[in-house]
């Protein structure tokens, strides 16, 4: 069935806004001997604990210098690759752009099967709400599971790729999408949703793994009166929202990434996203904490019953979210083993939370921050600094909307007792007034990235001691937007970087001990598995995603369509070589029609409309490694007629370019004028004339 969802202009604006976001140490060894993955990597985070930790030791600090490429697989047509692959019984499973599913022979790199959910046919409007990224699959009992962008949850036969069932998990007409990886939990599959920035209401859906039939659904924010879908705990949560929200519904709180199953307790911990819109005085005037946004919530895995919650950011004002991966571990605290959650959300803290009760045990500022002094351990609430909620006008805040840590998974090693966090340092300027061309202005709130402090504009690999709440060591990367981490029992930490390298570090002191030039920036996380008594490391290579929203701050020289996307696999003694690919020397080869006269009014209006293009083509059309091509170089965008035909027809939907039937002829003309003006700006020529006639379609 084709579902039609027509995006509003405000929703498309919100989409673009949403895209924004050493010293030596030997930590205490922990009693968590069952933590991590062994021969197979059967879950997104390795084991059920989501620790991104491998127990394999063949590749270690003494042998890693012999690590080489075993095989590579080019992935034509792929763009942004965020998924952490799975490996089960000799097969690697992963999703690419728009949730295309792959099964690959783990020893040879040969494709066994692919499955395309064809979102562009099923629900074309969903393509407006994301740049097509997908973060992976789940596996259980010979089946693999993944969600398409439009919210369909699929169950496939893992051996053949044959569809076993498909279940719709989103509401028709709502601005809901799915980009995260499902999790499995004793015969059930759970998936969340995205779309908080469009005003969607957050929830998680659990279905039967064999049939796809609904088992239960849990909402993270209260419903509108009369909807009759509130659980008892949401009736209580309603007291933390103002009357305007309760009348309108929505409110955000989507669960688009972090979820961890605790088999010993048969419960699942879900990371709830930001409230939406960001400004609480727009979203919920007169409201309170806005539960359960920006929280970790514990649910009974069998029934979906609420157990407890911990809210990391009450009444969120800065797009802070609890969606990064949730690690479960056992730490020695005060001389006793204690089952905990380790969590580094976007707000810059590293939390240690009691798994049984949800009480925060400690919180350390692991990233650069100025919004809070700390966390009150009696109340669990952050101790916010004054005037940090842009009450008095412009506010500069660290971490910015991209967060101190985002969706790229951190890892935890029981060998060292350290957490390894892929971190960013960049601030954001918030204001209820206007900003520069690189700023977003949505529903009265303007925000834009800023680089002002020492260390801003870089990413870091941070080794953090969660017991002492202290940094053990830190490595600075060249680029801001880097990949997730993998810790191993070989005393190594692997991470891909924005400038195109897969690197290995000594897990104890952070010394770089190995690197490989992958030929393109990496944002996903590596995995490790053993096959035929040999240890392998695999990673997807595909820079992109939120790079479009950060322009020059995430510019590493990569160019859309120039560098191939790949799956790379390494082993000791590997001798394979990568086919040559273009170096990171991005330069704009803008096109121009010198006969075309541009009108300044058209260009100015087109600038505002271009925010609808920003998530894929870049803010201010700065296509710096973005998920879409540079419009200044586009032959289609050179001529008004061909540009209009593309927008209205949707001729390139299969390649990820949405149809924009909502745009009028006048708006298309204005958008075209802005593209042409930016092209001339790149060429260093005059852009517009106040008196030029306006071209007609």
For residues 533 and 285, what is the distance between their CA atoms, to the nearest angstrom? 61
Tell me how many degrees the CA angle 623-626-631 measures, rounded to the nearest 5: 40
The residue ranking higher by pLDDT, 649 or 438, is 649
Q: Mean pLDDT over residues 6-24, rounded?
A: 46
pLDDT band at 188 (very low <50, low <70, confident <90, very high): very high
Share of the chain above pLDDT 70, in %: 90
CA nearest neighbour of 135 among 204, 81, 86, 207: 81
Q: Mean pLDDT over residues 498-503, rounded?
A: 98
Give the pLDDT of residue 408: 98
The pair of structure tokens assigned to 420 is 């390894």
Cα atoms found within 13 Å of the Cα of residue 67, Cβ hemisphere only: 28
Looking at the predicted structure, is the pLDDT value of residue 687 above 70? no
Looking at the predicted structure, is the pLDDT value of residue 1 above 80? no
pLDDT band at 34 (very low <50, low <70, confident <90, very high): low
Cross-strand partners of 300: 267
Q: Give a yes or no: residue 457 inside a domain.
A: no
Q: Give a yes or no: residue 146 inside a domain.
A: no
For residues 659 and 649, what is the distance between their CA atoms, to the nearest angstrom? 6
pLDDT band at 586 (very low <50, low <70, confident <90, very high): confident
For residues 221 and 291, what is the distance between their CA atoms, to the nearest angstrom? 6
The residue ranking higher by pLDDT, 92 or 127, is 92
Question: Residue 646 belongs to what H/E stretch?
Answer: helix 640-649
Give the pLDDT of residue 247: 75
Contact of 638 with 591, CB cutoff 8 Å: yes
Q: Mean pLDDT over residues 536-547, rounded?
A: 93
Give the pLDDT of residue 575: 98
Give the pLDDT of residue 491: 99
For residues 442 and 287, what is the distance between their CA atoms, to the nearest angstrom? 20
Looking at the predicted structure, is the pLDDT value of residue 226 above 70? no
- Just list the catalytic residues: 319
The residue ranking higher by pLDDT, 331 or 654, is 331
Task: Say which range, 6-15, 594-603, 634-643, has the weakest mean pLDDT.
Answer: 6-15
DSSP for 570-608, please give it.
Answer: EEET----PPP---S---------TT---BHHHHHHHHH
For residues 388 and 403, what is the distance between their CA atoms, to the nearest angstrom? 16
Return the percent helix, strand and coil in the chain, to nearest 5: 15, 30, 55
Q: Give a yes or no: residue 397 inside a domain.
A: no
The residue ranking higher by pLDDT, 278 or 696, is 278
pLDDT band at 28 (very low <50, low <70, confident <90, very high): very low
Average pLDDT, the chain: 90
Stated pTM of the model: 0.92
pLDDT band at 497 (very low <50, low <70, confident <90, very high): very high
pLDDT band at 132 (very low <50, low <70, confident <90, very high): confident
Looking at the predicted structure, is the pLDDT value of residue 207 above 70? yes
For residues 397 and 399, what is the distance between their CA atoms, to the nearest angstrom? 6
Give the model confidence (pLDDT) of 355-395 as tens digits: 999 999 999 999 999 999 999 999 999 999 998 998 778 89
Looking at the predicted structure, is the pLDDT value of residue 637 above 80? yes
For residues 527 and 538, what is the distance between their CA atoms, to the nearest angstrom? 5
pLDDT band at 418 (very low <50, low <70, confident <90, very high): very high
Looking at the predicted structure, is the pLDDT value of residue 690 above 70? no
> 335 vs 31, 340, 378, CA distance in Å?
12, 15, 21
Looking at the predicted structure, is the pLDDT value of residue 288 above 80? yes
Looking at the predicted structure, is the pLDDT value of residue 163 above 80? yes
Question: Residue 121 belongs to what H/E stretch?
Answer: helix 119-122
The residue ranking higher by pLDDT, 447 or 160, is 160
pLDDT band at 32 (very low <50, low <70, confident <90, very high): very low
Q: Give a yes or no: residue 658 inside a domain.
A: yes
pLDDT band at 403 (very low <50, low <70, confident <90, very high): very high
Radius of gyration of the chain measured on its C-alpha atoms: 24
Q: Mean pLDDT over residues 243-270, rounded?
A: 92
Q: Give a yes or no: residue 635 inside a domain.
A: yes
Distance from the Cα of residue 115 to its chain's centroid: 22
pLDDT band at 26 (very low <50, low <70, confident <90, very high): very low
Share of the chain above pLDDT 90, in %: 68
For residues 648 and 484, what is the distance between their CA atoms, to the nearest angstrom? 38
For residues 402 and 257, what is the distance between their CA atoms, to the nearest angstrom? 15
Q: Mean pLDDT over residues 76-93, rounded?
A: 97
Give the pLDDT of residue 258: 98
CA nearest neighbour of 456 among 572, 388, 370, 383: 370
Q: Give a yes or no: residue 642 inside a domain.
A: yes
Give the model confidence (pLDDT) of 448-496 as tens digits: 899 999 999 999 999 999 999 999 999 999 999 999 999 999 999 999 9
Token pair 């298309």 in the structure block, residue: 668
Q: Mean pLDDT over residues 416-421, rounded?
A: 99
Give the model confidence (pLDDT) of 322-362 as tens digits: 999 999 999 999 999 999 999 999 999 999 999 999 999 99
Looking at the predicted structure, is the pLDDT value of residue 3 above 60? no
CA nearest neighbour of 179 among 226, 125, 132: 132
Q: Mean pLDDT over residues 511-519, rounded?
A: 99
Domain count for the chain: 1
User: Domain containing 674 — which CATH number?
Assistant: 1.10.760.10
Number of C-beta neighbours around residue 12 at 10 A: 23
Give the pLDDT of residue 263: 97
DSSP for 155-178, please give it.
Answer: EEETTT--EEEEEE-S-TTS--B-
Q: Mean pLDDT over residues 274-292, rounded?
A: 91
CA nearest neighbour of 252 among 288, 284, 226: 284
Label the pairing between strands 53-54 and 485-488.
Answer: parallel
Q: Give a yes or no: residue 97 inside a domain.
A: no
pLDDT band at 614 (very low <50, low <70, confident <90, very high): confident
The boundaries of the domain holding residue 665 are: 600-683
For residues 192 and 275, what is the distance between their CA atoms, to the nearest angstrom? 15
Contact of 487 with 507, CB cutoff 8 Å: yes
Q: Give a yes or no: residue 299 inside a domain.
A: no
Looking at the predicted structure, is the pLDDT value of residue 195 above 60? yes
């Amino acid at each position: 069935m084709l579902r039609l969802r027509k995006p509003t202009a405000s929703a498309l604006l919100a989409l673009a806004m949403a895209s924004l976001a050493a010293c030596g140490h030997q930590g205490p060894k922990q009693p968590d001997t069952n933590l991590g993955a062994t021969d197979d990597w059967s879950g997104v985070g390795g084991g059920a604990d989501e620790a991104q930790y491998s127990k394999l030791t063949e590749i270690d600090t003494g042998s890693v210098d012999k690590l080489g490429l075993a095989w590579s697989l080019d992935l034509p047509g792929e763009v942004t690759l965020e998924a952490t692959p799975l490996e089960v019984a000799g097969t690697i499973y992963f999703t690419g752009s728009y949730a295309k599913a792959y099964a690959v022979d783990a020893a040879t790199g040969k494709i066994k099967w692919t499955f395309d959910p064809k979102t562009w046919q099923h629900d074309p409007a969903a393509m407006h709400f994301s740049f097509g990224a997908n973060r992976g699959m789940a596996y259980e009992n010979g089946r693999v599971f993944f969600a398409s962008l439009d919210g369909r949850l699929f169950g496939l036969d893992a051996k053949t790729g044959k569809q076993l069932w498909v279940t719709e998990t989103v509401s028709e007409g709502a601005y809901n999408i799915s980009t995260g990886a499902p999790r499995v939990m004793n015969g059930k599959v759970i998936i969340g949703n995205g779309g908080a920035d469009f005003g969607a209401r957050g929830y998680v859906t659990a279905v039967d793994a064999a049939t796809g039939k609904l088992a239960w659904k849990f909402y993270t924010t209260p419903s509108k009166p009369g909807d009759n879908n509130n659980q008892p705990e949401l009736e209580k949560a309603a007291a933390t929202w103002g009357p305007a929200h309760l009348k309108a519904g929505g409110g955000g709180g989507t669960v688009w990434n972090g979820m961890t199953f605790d088999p010993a307790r048969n419960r699942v911990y879900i990371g709830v996203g930001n409230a939406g819109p960001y400004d609480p005085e727009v979203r919920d005037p007169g409201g309170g904490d806005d539960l359960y946004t920006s929280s970790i919530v514990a649910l009974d895995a069998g029934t979906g019953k609420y157990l407890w919650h911990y809210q990391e950011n009450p009444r969120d004002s800065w797009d802070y979210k609890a969606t990064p991966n949730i690690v479960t571990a056992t730490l020695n605290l005060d001389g006793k083993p204690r089952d905990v959650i380790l969590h580094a959300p976007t707000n810059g803290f590293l939390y240690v939370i009691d798994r049984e009760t949800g009480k925060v045990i400690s919180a350390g500022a692991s990233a650069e921050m100025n919004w809070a002094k700390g966390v009150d351990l009696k109340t669990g609430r952050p101790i916010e600094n004054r005037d940090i909620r842009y009450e008095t006008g412009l506010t500069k805040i660290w971490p910015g909307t991209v967060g101190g840590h985002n969706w790229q998974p951190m890892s935890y090693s029981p060998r060292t007792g350290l957490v390894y966090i892929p971190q960013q340092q960049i601030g954001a300027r918030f204001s209820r007034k206007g900003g520069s061309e690189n700023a977003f202005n949505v529903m009265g709130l303007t925000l834009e990235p800023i680089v002002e402090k020492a260390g801003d504009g870089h990413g870091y690999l941070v080794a953090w001691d969660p017991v002492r709440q202290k940094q053990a060591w830190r490595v600075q990367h060249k680029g801001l937007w880097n990949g997730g981490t993998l810790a191993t029992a070989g005393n190594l930490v692997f991470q891909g970087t924005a400038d195109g390298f897969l690197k290995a570090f000594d897990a104890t002191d952070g010394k770089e001990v190995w690197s490989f030039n992958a030929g393109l920036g990496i944002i996903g996380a590596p995995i490790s598995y053993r096959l035929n008594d040999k240890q392998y490391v695999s990673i997807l290579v595909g820079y992109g995603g939120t790079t479009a929203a950060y322009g020059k701050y995430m510019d590493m020289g990569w160019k859309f369509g120039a560098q191939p996307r790949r799956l790379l696999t390494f082993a000791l003694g590997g001798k394979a070589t990568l086919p040559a690919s273009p170096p990171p020397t991005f330069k704009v080869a803008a096109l121009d029609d010198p006969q075309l006269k541009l009108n300044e009014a058209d260009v100015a209006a087109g600038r505002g409309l271009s925010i609808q293009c920003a998530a894929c083509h870049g803010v201010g059309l700065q296509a710096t490694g973005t998920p879409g091509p540079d419009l200044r170089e586009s032959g289609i965008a050179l001529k008004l007629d061909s540009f209009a035909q593309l927008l209205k027809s949707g001729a390139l939907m299969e390649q990820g370019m949405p149809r924009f039937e909502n745009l009028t002829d006048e708006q298309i003309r204005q958008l075209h004028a802005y593209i042409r003006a930016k092209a001339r700006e790149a060429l260093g020529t005059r852009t517009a004339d106040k008196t030029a006639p306006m071209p007609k379609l």
